[in-house]
Amino acid sequence: MNAMTPKERIDAVLAGKPADRVPFCFVDGGAWIAKTEKMTYRMLYGTEDAGAGKIVKWTDHFGVDIVSAVSGVFTAPLNAFGCPIHIDEIGQPVNAGKALSDPESEIPLLDKSTIRERLLSNEFFRDMLRQCKNVKKLVGDRKYLLGDIAAPFTMAAVMAGTQDFIMLMMDDEELAQQLIDFTTNVSAEVFRLLHENGCDIAFPADPVASGNLISQGMYEEWALPALKKLKDMLPEYRYFFSHICGASGARVSSLRGIGVRAFSCDYAVDLDAALQTAGGEMVLFGNLNPAGALLSGSADAVYAEACERIRIAAGRPYILAPGCDMGADTPLENIEMMAKACRDVLPG
The pLDDT value given to residue 121: 98
- Kindly give the confidence (pLDDT) of every residue in the chain, 348 residues in length, as a single tens digit, with 9 standing for 90 and above: 788 999 999 999 999 999 999 999 999 999 999 999 999 999 999 999 999 999 999 999 999 999 999 988 999 999 999 999 989 988 877 888 999 999 999 999 999 999 999 999 999 999 999 999 999 999 999 999 999 999 999 999 999 999 999 999 999 999 999 999 999 999 999 999 999 999 999 999 999 999 999 999 999 999 999 999 999 999 999 999 999 999 999 999 999 999 999 999 999 999 999 999 999 899 999 999 999 999 999 999 999 999 999 999 999 999 999 999 999 999 999 999 999 999 998 876
| CA–CA separation, 300 and 298 (whole Å) | 5
Residue from 145, 135, 139, 132 nearest 25 by CA: 145
Over its C-alpha atoms, the chain yields an Rg (Å, rounded) of: 19
Tell me the domains of the chain and their CATH numbers: 21-344 (3.20.20.210)
Q: Could you tell me the pTM of the whole model?
A: 0.96
Residue 48: is it exposed, middle or buried by C-beta count within 10 angstroms (0-12/13-18/19+)?
Answer: exposed
Residue 10: is it exposed, middle or buried by C-beta count within 10 angstroms (0-12/13-18/19+)?
Answer: buried
Residues 50 and 129: beta-carbon distance below 8 Å: no
Query: Per residue in 45-104, pLDDT tens?
Result: 999 999 999 999 999 999 999 999 998 899 999 999 999 998 998 887 788 899 999 999
Query: Per residue in 282-307, pLDDT tens?
Result: 999 999 999 999 999 999 999 999 99
| CA–CA separation, 18 and 317 (whole Å) | 9
